[in-house]
Amino acid sequence: MAGLFIDVELTDEARSDAELAKKLEEVCPVNIFSAKNGYAEVVEENLDECVLCELCVNAAPAKAVRVVKLYDGTALSR
Ligand code: SF4
């Protein structure tokens, strides 16, 4: 489930990348990612805290992470 304002999408490849999971958990200032058993999980209850800093997008390979702004239909990605 998405937040009210924000959704964060990870590709299956990104989700199962243990290194990336750890990195995402570290960089997000509002704890939207959790690294569990080598998998990256999105913490749904924190989604709307996203400050659109793009640290997650930039920490991941191109196209691996998308931060979707549900309120205007645009997304942060690279
Ligand atoms: S844009 Fe920033 S606050 Fe939002 S999920 Fe990515 S790292 Fe977290």
Per-residue pLDDT of 14-39, as tens digits, reads 999 999 999 999 999 999 999 999 99
pTM, full prediction? 0.94
> How many whole angstroms from 45 Cα to the centroid of ligand 1?
14
* Amino acid letter for position 17: D
Residues 6+ apart with CB under 8 A from 51: 29, 30
> How many whole angstroms from 17 Cα to the centroid of ligand 1?
18
Count of alpha carbons within 13 angstroms of residue 10, beta-carbon side: 21
Segment 9-19, tens digit of pLDDT:
999 999 999 99
Protein residues with CB under 6 Å of any ligand 1 atom: 8, 27-30, 32, 50-56, 67
Sheet holding 6-10, edge to edge: 6-10, 65-69, 74-76
Residue having the nearest C-alpha atom to atom 8 of ligand 1: 28
